């Protein structure tokens, strides 16, 4: 059941990467939005029952756990759970008769504007509407009968938000095409520069290391010449899929040029990047593609903890390490070799 629900919210790797990128950009706004919902409940407590705060806190914990896990497929079910808990807060606190159903619009805004597929926005809007109808027609029938706008107003706004969210998703399809490589489903060079600037700013603030690896398909030119470009494209697509399967949820892979890919590794040291590159190299060589043995070479570099991430410098270092891997016979992983500091000389006299 969990797997089926996860597939509904995130069907394939392309959706996963797009939603990861969108979720990362909206993370701060989403957190602030839910904090606003929490403060709204707190402000209404003089007119509600204090027990209402318990489901709201539980909803915050559910979303925090899903966000920390970094699994996009878990975020959809987490938002549904949070929505149900917010409804419980409204019902337990007798807030339906006070017009508090509008609180359910907070999570809907986050989902509708969060880059989720249209089917998810429609389903979440429908679930929100059902909860409002349950609250209005079953829990507080008398209050709604006396004051129908208590139900009509929030229900109408929820439907409007859902329709707007579905439209935003469609309108963003053009920009999505600009940042997603159509052959491999990986993010493009344009998206790479945006993300690298964000990581540079983040590393300057928190001092975390940032790893980077460059992956290059071995002998792709020969494959294209001997077996045709269609076969070469199949090799690139298969390699991209194997990379994505073995990356962490918050690592992002980009197609740089031709047969080259770049993977950004937030929070990873060079040694950790080398370990992950070894795993990827084994996964790539494990199975043939189109009856061809395929391998790849890796160069790994990164910024140290407490050091601001400079994308161009680290990328150049990783490319140098990649060139060394190619010279050593391909199908290799090579880290950047940092110059050792010179030993201190004799004290000046």
pLDDT digit string (tens) for 243-291?
988 888 778 899 987 899 999 999 999 999 999 999 999 999 999 988 8
Which domains does the chain possess?
2-178 (no CATH), 183-335 (3.30.70.270)
Read off the pLDDT band of 341 (50, 70, 90). very low
pLDDT of amino acid 19:
63
Average pLDDT for 169-182: 61
Give the C-alpha separation, 30 to 207, whole Å.
24
Phi, psi of 300 (to 5 degrees): -125, 135
Read off the pLDDT band of 2 (50, 70, 90). very low
Q: Which residue has the higher pLDDT, 239 or 22?
A: 239
Q: Minimum mean pLDDT among 70-84, 110-124, 210-224: which range?
A: 70-84
Give the C-alpha separation, 99 to 54, whole Å.
19
pLDDT of amino acid 348:
46
pTM of the predicted protein model: 0.52
pLDDT at 85 over 90: no
* pLDDT, tens only, 289-330: 888 999 999 999 999 988 889 999 999 999 999 999 999 999
pLDDT at 349 over 50: no
Average pLDDT for 44-52: 74
The percent of the chain in helix, strand and coil, each rounded to the nearest 5, is 70, 10, 20
Instruction: Give the other-Cβ count within 10 Å of 4's Cβ.
Output: 7
pLDDT of amino acid 137:
81
- The answer to whether the CB of 326 falls within 8 A of the CB of 247 is no
Read off the pLDDT band of 7 (50, 70, 90). low
pLDDT of amino acid 188:
84
- The answer to whether the CB of 55 falls within 8 A of the CB of 89 is yes
Q: Minimum mean pLDDT among 58-72, 119-133, 293-307: which range?
A: 58-72
Phi, psi of 338 (to 5 degrees): -80, 140
- The answer to whether the CB of 297 falls within 8 A of the CB of 319 is no
Give the C-alpha separation, 266 to 20, whole Å.
14
Token output for 201: 């700013």
Token output for 162: 């859902």
């Amino acid at each position: 059941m969990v797997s089926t629900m996860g597939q509904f919210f995130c069907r394939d790797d392309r959706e996963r990467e797009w939603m990861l990128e969108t979720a990362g950009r909206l993370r701060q706004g989403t957190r602030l939005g839910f904090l606003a919902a929490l403060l709204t409940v707190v402000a209404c407590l003089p007119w509600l029952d204090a027990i209402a705060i318990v489901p709201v806190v539980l909803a915050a914990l559910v979303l925090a756990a899903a966000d920390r896990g970094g699994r996009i497929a878990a975020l959809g079910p987490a938002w549904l759970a949070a929505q149900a808990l917010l409804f419980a807060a409204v019902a337990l606190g007798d807030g339906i008769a006070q017009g508090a159903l509008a609180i359910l619009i907070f999570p809907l805004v986050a989902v509708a504007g969060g880059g989720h597929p249209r089917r998810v926005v429609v389903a979440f809007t429908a679930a929100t509407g059902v909860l409002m109808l349950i609250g209005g027609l079953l829990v507080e029938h008398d209050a709604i009968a006396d004051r129908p706008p208590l139900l009509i107003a929030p229900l109408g706004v929820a439907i409007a938000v859902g329709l707007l969210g579905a439209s935003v998703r469609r309108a963003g399809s053009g920009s999505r095409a600009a940042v997603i490589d159509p052959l491999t489903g990986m993010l493009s060079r344009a998206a790479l520069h945006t993300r690298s600037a964000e990581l540079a700013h983040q590393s300057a603030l928190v001092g975390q290391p940032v790893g980077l690896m460059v992956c290059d398909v071995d002998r792709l030119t020969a494959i294209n010449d001997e077996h045709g470009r269609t076969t070469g494209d199949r090799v690139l697509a298969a390699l991209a899929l194997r990379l994505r399967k073995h990356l962490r949820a918050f690592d992002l892979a980009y197609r740089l040029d031709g047969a080259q890919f770049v993977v950004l590794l937030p929070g990873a040291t060079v040694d950790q990047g080398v370990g992950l590159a070894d795993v990827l190299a084994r996964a790539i060589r494990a199975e043939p593609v189109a009856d061809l043995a395929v391998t790849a070479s890796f160069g790994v570099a990164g910024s140290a903890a407490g050091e601001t991430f400079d994308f161009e410098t680290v990328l150049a270092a990783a490319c140098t390490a990649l060139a060394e891997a190619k010279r050593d016979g391909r199908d290799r992983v090579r880290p950047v070799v940092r110059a050792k500091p010179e030993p201190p000389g004799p004290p000046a006299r």
